[in-house]
Amino acid sequence: MAPQRDDARGGGVSDVTLLEQIGERSGDALAALYDRYGRPSYSLARRICVDEALAEDVVQEAFLVVWRDPQRFDPARGAVSSWLLTLVHHRAVDAVRREATRRRRTVAPSEDGEEWSVPPGPGADQAALGAVVAGKVREALASLPAEQREALALAYFGGYTQREVASLVGVPLGTVKSRMFTGTRKLRGLLGPHVEVDEGEAR
């Protein structure tokens, strides 16, 4: 959301004013801020987390941060909307990592046995993800092993590069490439009835 829209909704009361009122423990101000940004916050969290309940928890955590410490907002660094969605983004990434860690403790390692290495950049994999409706992609992602889903969610929905994903997850870059390569192959199989992928486009 662009900074100039901070006053566009809510009867002329600015987001900054709402934060000030939240600092005075106004529940009505928090509710007003949620009315403005609850939906885009959930949309962002859902794209990253995939899971609905997890996304709802992320949004709740983000607004709890706002309630507890609205002074964390620095107007010199941008709009309230940008700050809030950044909070959501960071917590969504953390939530995906926590879930992947939890599942790694209970799910057997991948059967792949070796690492694949594919160069980053656009190609058939991204085309496959972008060519179908979000609901189909979410369903397909949810069926993948946690490690593969984590890497793909961070890269395609979180906007991170493969190297950044490796840093966030705490694994070697080659492992991230392997997970993304294997995951996208499985996605192509799952989404086959809905997309046509030219294997020659992959680079």
Which domains, ranges and CATH numbers included, belong to the chain? 10-104 (1.10.1740.10), 124-201 (1.10.10.10)
Average pLDDT of the segment spanning 146-174? 78
Lowest-pLDDT choice from 4-13, 135-144, 169-178? 4-13
Task: Describe the crossing of helices 162-169 and 173-190 by its angle, rounded to 10 degrees.
Answer: 110
Reported as a pLDDT band with limits 50, 70 and 90, residue 125 is very low
Beta carbons of 94 and 157 less than 8 angstroms apart: no
Region for residue 195 given its phi and psi (left: phi exceeds 0; alpha: psi -120 to 50; beta: otherwise): beta
Among the ranges 107-111, 133-137, 181-185, which has the highest mean pLDDT value? 181-185
Lowest mean pLDDT among 44-53, 90-99, 108-117, 163-172: 108-117
Integer Cα distance of 113 and 42 in angstroms: 37
CA distance 39 to 186: 31
Q: How far is CA 157 from the centre of its chain?
A: 5
> What is the C-alpha separation between 128 and 193, in angstroms, rounded?
11
C-alpha distance from residue 139 to each of 121, 142, 178 (Å) = 24, 5, 21
Residue 151 is predicted with a pLDDT of: 81
